[in-house]
Structure 1
C-alpha cells in the first residue's frame, strides 16, 4: 500500500481514493501511478498510525515539501490531514506543507475548515478547471452539483487566504487561452495566486 511517494523533489501523501468529483480528465482513469513506479490505488485507507510509521521511514530533510495529493481528494480526510500536518511541523518546522485539492473541503466537512489550516499548512493549491459552474460540472461532475461546488470553491479560496500563506488557483495548459484568462480574473477577484500547470496525460 503506497502511503507516501516521491514526485520530483517533494514527498506526496496518498490518504484516500475517495473524491467528491468524478473528473472526466482525471489521470487515475488511465494510470495506476503518476511517477511510473508507485501504485496509488489503496486496498483500504491507512490509519494515522500507519501514516506516521510510513513517514518515519523517510528522511524528510531530502524533500522540498510535503504534499497531500494522491488518487483521491485529501479533504475527504481533512481532520487526519491536519493531525499529520501538525505532527510533521513538530518534527520539522521549516518543511513546507501543501494541500492539492478540488477546493470543496467546506462542503465535504459541512463547516468552515479554513481556520484549522493556520500554522500547519503553508500552501493550498486548488484545481479550478473552468470559469463557470456549467463548464465545471461538465468537466468535474461534482456530487454537490455545479452551482454549489463552484461557488463553494470560490468561497473556500477567499476564506483560506486569511489563514494560509499561499493560496493558488490552478488550471491546465490545454484550456483555450480565453478560458485561462477568465480563470485568472476569478483568482484576482478572490485575492489568490494563479498558475497554469502542465496537463498530465
Structure 2
C-alpha cells in the first residue's frame, strides 16, 4: 500500500481514495489525468492511520534521497480533507520534526465535506494550498467537476479559498491546461486577482 511517494521535488502523502468529485479530466476516470503518471499504484487498500503515515515518513527520512525533498504534499487519488483528522495529526508531526513547507492539493470543498469551517484548523500546520478552480463559470465547473454537492460546490470552493488566506500563507487556485478556453482562463485569473490569491495553470497528462 503506497502511503507516501516521491513526485516532482516533494514527498507526497496519500491518505484516502474518497473524493466528492468525478472530474472529467481526472486520472481516476482511467482516461486522462492532470497530475500523475503512475495510474495504478496509489489506490489504497484501506485508509492508513495517522501513526502509519508518520511511521512511513520516519522510515523515508532515513533514506539518502530525503535530503532532496523541497516540500511535503498531501495529495493522492482522493481528496485529502476527506481524512481531515489524520491530515491534521500528520501535519502537526511534520511541523514538529522537519523544516520543509507543507502543502495540500485540494478541491476546496473541505467545509462541505466536513460540515464545518476547516481553514482555521490549518493555521500553523499548512503553508500552502493548491485548490482546483477548474473554471470561472459555475455551470462549466459543475459539468467538469461533477461534485456530489452540485451547485453548492463552486461558491463553497471560492469561499474556502478566501477564508484560507487568513490562515495559510500561500493560496493557489488552479485550472488544467487544454480543459477550458483561453477566455475562461483569463476570467479565472481575474477571479484570483479579486480574491487576492495566485492563479496557476497545471499541465495536462494523458493516460494511455
TM interval, short-chain normalised: over 0.9
Once residues 55 and 38 of structure 1 are traced to their aligned partners in structure 2, the CA distance between those partners, rounded to angstroms, is 21
Once residues 37 and 90 of structure 1 are traced to their aligned partners in structure 2, the CA distance between those partners, rounded to angstroms, is 32
Quick check: 1:164 aligned with 2:164?
no
- 1:125 aligns to what? 130
How do 1:132-151 and structure 2 match up within 5 A?
132-145=137-150, 147-151=151-155
How do 1:38-53 and structure 2 match up within 5 A?
39-53=41-55
Q: Is 2:27–2:39's contact at 8 Å kept on the other side of the alignment?
A: no
Once residues 73 and 4 of structure 1 are traced to their aligned partners in structure 2, the CA distance between those partners, rounded to angstroms, is 15
SS at match of 1:57: helix
Q: Displacement, 1:37? A: 8.5
Quick check: 1:104 aligned with 2:106?
no
Aligned residue-pair number: 199
Q: Is 1:2–1:38's contact at 8 Å kept on the other side of the alignment?
A: no
Instruction: Name the TM-score, length of structure 2 as normaliser.
Output: 0.91
Q: Structure 1: which 5+ residue stretches go unaligned?
A: none
1:140-194: CA deviation from partner (whole Å, max 9, x where unpaired): 110100x210000000000000000000001111121101001111111111111
User: Could you say what the CA RMSD is over the residues aligned between the two structures, in angstroms?
Assistant: 1.7
Instruction: Name the TM-score, length of structure 1 as normaliser.
Output: 0.94
Q: Is 2:82–2:113's contact at 8 Å kept on the other side of the alignment?
A: yes
Alpha carbons of structure 1 residues 199 and 16: separation in structure 2 relative to 1, 3 Å? same
Moved over 6 A (4+): none
Q: Structure 2: which 5+ residue stretches go unaligned?
A: none
Q: Displacement, 1:61? A: 3.3
- 1:20 aligns to what? 20
Q: Displacement, 1:38? A: 6.9
Once residues 72 and 151 of structure 1 are traced to their aligned partners in structure 2, the CA distance between those partners, rounded to angstroms, is 21
Q: Is 1:7–1:35's contact at 8 Å kept on the other side of the alignment?
A: no
Quick check: 1:74 aligned with 2:74?
no
Once residues 15 and 176 of structure 1 are traced to their aligned partners in structure 2, the CA distance between those partners, rounded to angstroms, is 33
- 1:62 aligns to what? 68
Q: Is 1:104–1:156's contact at 8 Å kept on the other side of the alignment?
A: yes
Q: Displacement, 1:34? A: 2.6
Query: After alignment, is 94-103 or 32-41 more displaced?
Result: 32-41
